[in-house]
Structure 1
Amino acid sequence: MSSTTIAPEANEANDEPGLKKGALGLVSGVVIGVDSTAPAYSIAAVIAGLVLAVGLQTPGIMLLAFVPMVCVATAYYYMNRVDPDCGTTFAWVTRAMGPVLGWVSGWAILMAGVIVIGSLADVASLFTYLLLGMDGAADSKAAVMILAVFYIVTMTAIAIRGIELSAMTQFVMIALQITALVAFAVVVLVQVATGDATPSSVDPELSWFSPFAADGGSSAVVAGLLIAIFIYWGWDSAVAVNEESADSSSGPGKAALLSTVILLGVYLLVSVAMVAYAGTSLFGDFEDDPSVIAVIADDALGTAFGKFLILAVLTSALASTQTTILPSSRTSLSMARMGAMPKRLAAIHPSWQTPHVGTVLVATLATLFYVVFNTLSQNFLFDALTSLGFLIAFNYGMNGFACVWYHRKELTRSASNFFFVGLAPFVGGVFLTYIFIKSAIDLSDPAASDLGSSWLGVGPPFVIGVGSLILGLVIALVLRARSGGEGFWARRPEVVAPGQISGVPGDA
């Protein structure tokens, strides 16, 4: 097509149009990072499971889960400082550890996007019908799927139309989410304090913030952590738009760090409010059911506010549908730009300056995945979502290790380098490696599957998650063999040039 150009390498002078430079500021990056996690939907979806696992220590588990996230966000900050490439983990693992691991890391990002986009749109569709009081449509798989596909198409069109339009859309959605969540939490806590809550309500205590005080000991802590760790997933979208940011080298990294802190604050406030208001007894009927937050809001504040919370969850899932497209499409752009994927995927729209071909491809694959497998079995879709834990832990963990290895010669130059550039990313990587292994052990049991069946002697989530990574490795090895080790596959691991880093996030 004559209207298509090929994006240049990041930071490389080129007369051809690329991604739109300087389109986003720090605030826009934070909005994209927070919205990508779908905070209203995430807290609603996991709160019951967490309470069932650790009881009153739910806020403490959320605090503990924050630790590896902020450690890995530090790794993103420092890798982005030296290489603001929209391919993020793909580009950085390639640079630090070579093309095979880099390719698999990019593949993990793409697979996660394909699996989750349809499910997020499905939630937005379901909650749209609930908001409108159309219970019949909400109970109809066909009606929910049709609206979900419409939402994917709409969010894809916004993403293609321009990064600035995407950011404006996210501003509106995050404002609604945060306003609803904070207002809900504050009013509910006031009712607890004045004795107007449920008979099972509990006054908040500082002991709730100690994750290791949970009944059941370490096994309960691990069970809760496996649930809580992934409600933070998505803040890295703030870094995926680095090439479109005004301060591409440090702004996106700051946005990622700020996003994790904001998420922690929101999650702690809302979880304390919900547990204090309802105690622990209510949640047993709502495991994996995000409507629990609306039920509590309806009981505490009436149907109107319950609808407001439904609207917040709806916009949360819808916003995340769009922002999840951003890192996936930009990863495909970066991979194509380096010669790791077909060159066509590096196409940039000459007017809107977005990776329109990659965006359409990701959205199309996500739609097909959602429609086909949701039609065959909704339980398969649930198992696929469970398998996301493997892809997320692998992606984030690899970034932590890549940061340490890439900067290894600089770590002893100062205490700040050692702690912020080395130790923090390494701790994040080790933490997520443990989560990966623990998840593999737990999810290899067919009984842990929604399908309740055995594939190759293990549970379907294990096969889907670990199998996706193995498939990515096989494809990488085949591509390298076919290339004869030339082009992208000839790249060798690098190490950071002296003097390119400073020790504390936020330094110039």
Structure 2
Amino acid sequence: MSEPAAQPQLKQGAIGFVDALVIGLASTSPAYSLAAVVGAVVALVGVYAPGVFLASFIPMLLIASAFYYLNRADQDCGTTFSWVTRAMGPWVGWLGGWAIAMTGVLVIGSLADVGVRFGLLALQLDGLADNTFVVRTLTVLLIIAMTAVCVIGTEFSAKLQNGLIIAQVGALLVFAGIALVKGLAGDGVEGGGLTPSLSWLNPFGAGGGALTGGLLLGVFIYWGWESAVNLTEETQDSESTPGKAAIVSTVVLLVTYLGVTIAILSYFGTAFLADRSGEEETIFATLATEVMGPWDWVLLLAVSTSAIASTQTTILPASRTGLSMARRHAMPASLARISPRFRTPDVSTWVVAAIAIAWYLVVNLISENALFDSLTALSLLIAFYYSLTGIACAVFHRRQLTRSVKDFFLIGVGPVIGSLLLIWLLVESIGDLADPANSYSGVSWFGVGPPLVIGIGIFLVGVVFMVVWRFTDARFWAEKTTTVERLQADIAAGRTGAAVEDPAP
């Protein structure tokens, strides 16, 4: 009798460090992220916006350190789901995986929508950009196209991202250079022409209340760098390359955000930006026209390519998380299918896209503001699973923390501090989002703001799904917590299945 055919696996070694770095950068969508928050942050803290972005970078770097050390111990494309399960148990781990998957579902449609709108504006097709039916149709087609790219192969995805990131960052640098030169020459808008100062890097310059609001927005613009780690099983030298790419990407983002924000402040000043803090979808179009005149399409194209690139790279972590959860029996088994031809998780990738399209269309039927409110709810899910990851790092490596001062701070204290900062921001965010006045729609759902209802609603749906699946298939919930030392011993002995119980206290 012939041996049963081996199940197809993800393609190992498909991408290298540069590809992983580019995917991490593209997932954050730098141009789109700046367009989404720069006006609001300046409205809150004025010229201290660069300082807020600097302060927001600190918890991201600390959590990136947690991703680096956790990936060294466990190269699982489910990242937070797998690590939190091993360190803190299946219930908490499942919720971490759910949060990652749902952030993708919430944002994919919005990213594609921005990519379409700014692409049409860059082509001088303003009439089509204002046509709701055209934009939504093209948005759905773009999601389908980017999903197909993800399914065709990780190598193809990486090559596409390399081109998109060059176009995006190049356009941002051109815009920032022109804005800075004109601003320093006194050719900025009325109230602009400011001379950059080191004091702009002081996050406390505008006071505590403004800093809190700014940090909540600042964390959003860094979110997504960990996509490089979700591709760990498909990356060369998977033990170290994905984690290094994640850390380096956060540093590159910091430099980009500081440089562009300082240039914008120099040219426009604070009043111009603060007055347009509610124009997230169009503010970069306005800035581009003011700075670059007939060449404004360069920046518009940057925002478009930024959003398109992020549409694709946001699908990747959600689909890999679904794959990881399914092969551990925490989700339906069909999500664990890997295409024999392309060696990518085709079923989970298309499922993520289908849910994202449905969410985009249904929420838009409620109102365009409801879609923006769903994006605001992202801050709750992001802070939740990032903070879980930081704590899991210290718990998982708890026996290693006393071996050296370096381990104590980089593996234990640093990630925990990052988690505590994010938990604080999570609590502050819940308080802010409870006020309907802080939502895009400005209406009340059940007495609180729509973003809080959406965030809590998604969490509760996850809890219900988790409990139902627990009674449908209990195998995942048989997993026990472990430590990095015990896991490595199990791997060496060939016991690479579920996490095993750690009998020692």
TM-score range, shorter chain: over 0.9
Q: For 1:203, give the aligned amino acid.
A: T
> CA–CA distance in 1 between the matches of 2:436 and 2:184?
45
**1:373 Cα deviation (Å)?**
1.4
2:267 counterpart (277, 293, 302): 277
Check whether the contact 1:40–1:312 (CA below 8 A) recurs between aligned residues: yes
Match of 1:50 in 2: 41
Identify the range of structure 1 (179-188 vs 26-35) with the bigger mean alpha-carbon deviation: 179-188
Q: For 1:114, give the aligned amino acid.
A: V
Match of 1:139 in 2: 130
Match of 1:489 in 2: 477
> CA–CA distance in 1 between the matches of 2:288 and 2:322?
41
Q: For 2:78, give the aligned amino acid.
A: G
Q: Is residue 330 from structure 1 mapped to residue 328 from structure 2 by the alignment? A: no
Q: How does 1:496-507 map to 2 (within 5 A)?
A: 496-497=484-485
1:99 counterpart (90, 94, 117): 90
Q: For 2:70, give the aligned amino acid.
A: M
Match of 1:441 in 2: 431
Q: How does 1:406-425 map to 2 (within 5 A)?
A: 406-425=396-415
Identify the range of structure 1 (437-446 vs 307-316) with the bigger mean alpha-carbon deviation: 437-446
Structure 2 CA distance for partners of 1:342 and 1:298, relative to 1, 3 Å: same
Match of 2:73 in 1: 82
Cα-to-partner distance string for 1:428-480 (whole Å, 9 max, x where unaligned) = 11011011111101101122222322222221111111221232223223332
2:375 counterpart (385, 390, 393): 385
1:291 counterpart (274, 282, 288): 282
Q: For 1:152, give the aligned amino acid.
A: I
2:233 counterpart (215, 223, 243): 243
Check whether the contact 2:288–2:300 (CA below 8 A) recurs between aligned residues: no
2:202 counterpart (195, 205, 210): 210
Identify the range of structure 1 (443-452 vs 348-357) with the bigger mean alpha-carbon deviation: 443-452
Match of 1:69 in 2: 60
How many residues of Structure 1 are paired with residues of Structure 2 in the alignment?
484
Unaligned segments of structure 1, at least 5 residues? 1-5, 7-13, 501-508
Q: Is residue 40 from structure 1 mapped to residue 31 from structure 2 by the alignment? A: yes
Match of 2:357 in 1: 367
Cα-to-partner distance string for 1:382-430 (whole Å, 9 max, x where unaligned) = 1111101111111111100110111111111110010100011101110
Unaligned segments of structure 2, at least 5 residues? 489-505
SS in 1 for 2:444: coil
SS in 2 for 1:21: coil
Q: Is residue 318 from structure 1 mapped to residue 308 from structure 2 by the alignment? A: yes
Match of 1:451 in 2: 441
> CA–CA distance in 2 between the matches of 1:372 and 1:191?
44
Q: Percent identity?
A: 49
Return the TM-score normalized by structure 2: 0.93
Check whether the contact 2:89–2:480 (CA below 8 A) recurs between aligned residues: yes
> CA–CA distance in 2 between the matches of 1:410 and 1:498?
12
SS in 2 for 1:410: coil
Check whether the contact 2:175–2:291 (CA below 8 A) recurs between aligned residues: no
> CA–CA distance in 2 between the matches of 1:498 and 1:468?
34
> CA–CA distance in 2 between the matches of 1:361 and 1:210?
44
Q: Is residue 427 from structure 1 mapped to residue 414 from structure 2 by the alignment? A: no
> CA–CA distance in 2 between the matches of 1:455 and 1:294?
32
SS in 1 for 2:92: helix
Q: For 1:181, give the aligned amino acid.
A: L
**1:285 Cα deviation (Å)?**
3.3
Return the TM-score normalized by structure 1: 0.93
State the superposition RMSD in angstroms: 1.7
Flag as ranges the 4+ runs of structure 1 deviating above 3 A.
none
Q: For 1:73, give the aligned amino acid.
A: A
Match of 2:502 in 1: none
**1:371 Cα deviation (Å)?**
1.0
**1:116 Cα deviation (Å)?**
0.6
Match of 1:477 in 2: 467
> CA–CA distance in 1 between the matches of 2:288 and 2:53?
21
> CA–CA distance in 2 between the matches of 1:498 and 1:412?
17
